[in-house]
Chain A
Amino acid sequence: MSSPLRVGPLRNARLLDAEPDGTPGPADLSGPEIIEIAEAAGIRGRGGAGFPLAVKLRSVASAPGPVRYVIANGEEGEPASVKDRFLLRERPDLVLRGLELAARAVSADRAYVYVSDPSAARRLAAKRGDTPADIPVDIPIGVVAVAPGYVAGEETAVVRAVDGGPALPTVKPPRPWQEGVCGAPTLVSNVETLAQLALAVRLGPEAYRGMGTPESTGTFLATLSGAGRAPGLYEVPYGIPLRELVTAHMGTAAGVTGLLAGGFAGGLLPASALDLPLTHAALARAGSTLGCGAFVLLAGDCPVGVAAEVAAFFDRENARQCGPCVTGTSGVAGVLARLTVRSATVEDVARLERWGAALAGRGNCATPDAVTALVGSLFRHHRDLVDAHVGTECERCAATDVTADTRFRVSWEGS
């Protein structure tokens, strides 16, 4: 089912309104100058981990080797996020300007845009010039389209797919900045991060830092969904209370009983989290993550049922390659599903908690860690409710099929 998407700035849009025309390009700045701007602006990655962009740029720029690559990562594996699709469909020029700047910063020989969204791929293809595979900008840019998947946007999966292999994560190290495409140093950067780089170059670092907090600078794109409302995409200054964002989206935050933060990566948070400021540090302190900026709002949903649904998603979407992830996630999803139909035992609950903790760091990508966050948060905030699901039927759980494709997927056909 596709819903209309509300798009709006909170307080002040600048990324959503930025015109790539008039933004200094790679011809106007040297590589080190671009890296200095990224550093002074304090840009952090918008794909999930929040890693400082300047550090990544510098690592690739100074890695040995005659050849370097940059990849704009637009494969939004998070089902609750829509921002990357939005940017590629509606603001592709800003993303491409950021990609050119990043390519200049690391002296790349070739750049790629990596997408799974067919509509974004079409939009980019429409910008192609005479060379069929390339978009005519200052550096050859190829478009690589892959089938969508939760792990397909993970950085090593991206490199593998651009190399012509399957979009599956590999063991780290090496990381792409050490050995990426064809074994050469490669920058893999989220498309919003690149758009933010273009914005920082346009505004200058000082004005860029004029919004946000010293630790999380600027604005970010947030996807809000759930609670029976049409989804919304907002440009938000870091540091404002989550409650303000939710109120802008729903008119009131009164009916919100909890949420999933960081898409599916940050687990469950209780309603009291509405008072958290939207910064990387505050969400991390609450045991969660800001991740890709996606929030699924819950309005009376049973947290056990929600966890069961998200775990079932991971059980379906994990790449079936790492033993602990495949076995552990399936075990976790199984106990949670049984809890929703009153067929789990006290021993199952003990196993659930143990498996959840044991999964941390047990795969080639962060999927097991997302399961750890989910299970950990369920016990941290709702232990009594979990116990109550042993032997007592939960009406709210009985009304949902937790093994069906998740109702938390944000679909948006675009304008």
Chain B
Amino acid sequence: MKVVIDAAVCDGKGYCKRFAPEVFALDEWGYGEVLVDEVPPEYEANARAALEACPLQAIKAV
């Protein structure tokens, strides 16, 4: 599984990082950032939870 954040949609705040700190971080300005090229299988469930939790639906699984 790969994930991307639509930078034009992300508004910061960081639910993604709270749900999957192994996959998402917050950058210098507080916007969501994907840490990994490929989500390791053991973190996929967390990544999906983050994807659903993002209030702006800015995260896409690709």
Q: Is the CB of A358 within 8 A of B4?
A: no
Does A170 reach chain B (CB closer than 8 Å)? Answer: yes
Minimum CB–CB distance for B5 against chain A, Å: 8
Contact of A171 with B4 at beta-carbon distance under 8 Å, contacts A323-B31, A328-B29 already known: yes
Looking at the complex, which one of B4, B29, B60, B62 makes contact with A323 (CB distance below 8 Å)? B29
Does B7 reach chain A (CB closer than 8 Å)? Answer: yes
Does B10 reach chain A (CB closer than 8 Å)? Answer: yes
- B1-33 CB contact bits vs A (8 Å, 1 = yes)? 000111111111000000000000001111101
Does A30 reach chain B (CB closer than 8 Å)? Answer: no
* Majority secondary structure of chain B interface residues (helix, strand, loop or mixed): loop
Number of A-B contacts (CB under 8 A): 49
Within 8 A of B (CB), among A312-336: 319, 321-325, 327-328
B-side interface residues, number (CB < 8 Å) = 17
- Give the one of B4, B27, B30, B60 with max A CB within 10 A: B27
What are 30 A-B residue pairs whose CB atoms fall within 8 Å in the complex? A168-B8, A169-B8, A170-B6, A171-B6, A171-B9, A171-B60, A173-B4, A319-B8, A321-B7, A321-B8, A322-B7, A322-B8, A323-B7, A323-B12, A323-B31, A324-B7, A324-B27, A324-B29, A324-B31, A325-B7, A327-B29, A328-B29, A354-B28, A355-B28, A362-B7, A362-B27, A362-B33, A364-B6, A364-B7, A364-B8
Q: Is the CB of A171 within 8 A of B29?
A: no
Minimum CB–CB distance for B36 against chain A, Å: 14
Look across to chain A and name the residue whose beta carbon is closest to the beta carbon of B11. A323
Q: A residues touching B (Cβ–Cβ < 8 Å)?
A: 168-174, 319, 321-325, 327-328, 354-355, 358, 362-364
Residues of A within 8 A of B6 (CB): 170-171, 364
Looking at the complex, which one of A171, A173, A174, A354 makes contact with B7 (CB distance below 8 Å)? A171
Look across to chain B and name the residue whose beta carbon is closest to the beta carbon of A368. B7
> In the bound complex, what is the Cα–Cα distance between A364 and B31 (angstroms)?
13
Look across to chain A and name the residue whose beta carbon is closest to the beta carbon of B33. A362
Look across to chain A and name the residue whose beta carbon is closest to the beta carbon of B29. A327
> In the bound complex, what is the Cα–Cα distance between A165 and B33 (angstroms)?
27
Minimum CB–CB distance for B12 against chain A, Å: 6
Residues of B within 8 A of A173 (CB): 4, 62
Look across to chain A and name the residue whose beta carbon is closest to the beta carbon of B5. A171
* Contacts beyond the supplied A321-B8, A322-B10, A364-B7: 13 A-B pairs with Cβ under 8 Å: A168-B8, A171-B4, A171-B7, A171-B60, A173-B62, A174-B62, A321-B7, A322-B7, A322-B8, A328-B29, A355-B28, A358-B27, A363-B7
Q: Is the CB of B8 within 8 A of A170?
A: yes
**5 tightest A-B CB contacts, nearest first:** A322-B7, A321-B8, A171-B6, A358-B28, A323-B31
Residues of A within 8 A of B10 (CB): 322-323
